[in-house]
Amino acid sequence: MSPIAETESTVTRFAPSPTGLLHLGHAYSALFAQRIATEAGGRFLLRIEDIDAGRCKPEFDAAIQEDLAWLGLAWEEPVRRQSEHMADYRAALDRLAAESLLYPCFCTRKEILTEIERAGGAPQGPEGPLYPGTCRTLTAEERRTRIATGEAYALRLDAAEAGRRAGPLSWDEIGRGPQVCDPLRHGDVVLARKDVATSYHLAVTTDDALQGVTLVTRGEDLFEATHVHRLLQALLGLPAPRYRHHRLLTDESGRRFAKRDQSLTLRALREAGHAPSDILPMIGLDA
Ligand code: GLU
């Protein structure tokens, strides 16, 4: 499977967001990461990705840990909770800002759509049309004035400039070999949201480095996000972990498991009388 055998220096992690109960897809992802680490004699970490205070709930944080323990997983303490580490994300933003790689973006979603329409379209990114760069060309004076009047703003990466500074990049995708990183894949991505002083991309990249993660395992749906993560690692002088994006589990009708599938949460299965050992065949893993 891997040209580079895992060793006792391998560190993997499972990084759920506490926005709901864990379902079978999460069980697969958690066991995938934990087994690689355990089989290699390495370390397995749990990280709670709770930057989105509006959507994350402490009761889901507790439920995640309870359900993973029920499943038989063990992880190193302490659990890293992103909401407790905002200063780390701030430091990363400061570094990028000091290198003039960030700019404030005042646009609302509606303004972005209107601008894309006016321009007759925009290049497509993995999550829809790319940001048209409206605020990239504001003058320093305009930025200052709008910030001073209390207008809300996000911080975006100047992706073209970031790509130039970083130079050619790739990441090692186990089973698929080196993947060429495209710094423009997500356009001028948001690194600090208007409502949260960081973003998924910035927090994940910072944390994987600070926690010494050597192998990032996660679902195939996050493969594209790795373009941003690899770029940020280069800009922030962080080590590049290896990656292994795994398949996504689907139900009988071929739909991905999602938080809406209440009957397939670990909690519901447990309450219906299933034992942890019943879960493995459900997700196609051996005991
Ligand atoms: N928190 C993300 C999620 O629950 C996973 C992040 C990652 O593994 O990089 O989808």
CA of 222 to the centre of ligand 1 (A): 8
Residues in the chain: 287
What are the phi and psi torsion angles at 270 (to 5°)? -65, -40
CA-closest candidate to residue 280, choices 269, 220, 63, 272: 269
Residue 134: how many CA atoms within 13 Å on its side-chain side? 20
Q: What is the pLDDT of residue 2?
A: 47
Residue 61 Cβ contacting ligand 1 at under 6 Å: no
Take residue 97 and report the two structure tokens written for it.
């800002």
Q: pLDDT tens digits, residue range 142-153?
A: 999 999 999 999
Take residue 137 and report the two structure tokens written for it.
């060309």
CA-closest candidate to residue 199, choices 61, 105, 63: 105
Residue 222 Cβ contacting ligand 1 at under 6 Å: yes
Annotated active-site residue 194? The verdict is no
Higher-pLDDT residue of 4 and 239 is 239
Q: Is the pLDDT of residue 1 over 70?
A: no
Task: Name the residue of 17, 196, 226, 242 whose CB sits within 8 Å of the most ligand 1 atoms, as the mutation to test its pocket.
Answer: 17
Q: What is the pLDDT of residue 259?
A: 67
What are the DSSP calls for 113-171, one per residue?
Answer: HHHHHHTT---EETTEEPP--GGGG--HHHHHHHHHTT---EEEE-HHHHHHHH-S-EE
Sorting pLDDT into bands at 50, 70 and 90, what band is 10? very high
pTM here?
Answer: 0.95
Q: What is the pLDDT of residue 4?
A: 59
What would you report as the CA-atom Rg of the chain, rounded to the nearest whole angstrom?
20
CB distance 257 to 251 below 8 Å = yes
Q: What percent of the chain has pLDDT over 70?
A: 98
Give CA–CA dist 286/232, Å, rounded.
37
CB distance 267 to 21 below 8 Å = yes
Q: What angle do CA 109, 114, 116 make, to 5 degrees?
A: 95
The pLDDT of 39-43, averaged and rounded, is: 96
Give CA–CA dist 21/114, Å, rounded.
37
CA-closest candidate to residue 168, choices 255, 227, 121: 227
* 57, 110, 194, 259: the active-site residue: 259
Give CA–CA dist 60/76, Å, rounded.
19
Least confident range from 52-66, 170-184, 225-239, 273-287: namely 273-287
Residue 17 Cβ contacting ligand 1 at under 6 Å: yes
Residue 189 Cβ contacting ligand 1 at under 6 Å: no
Given the CA of residue 221, which atom of ligand 1 is nearest to it? 10
CB distance 212 to 90 below 8 Å = no
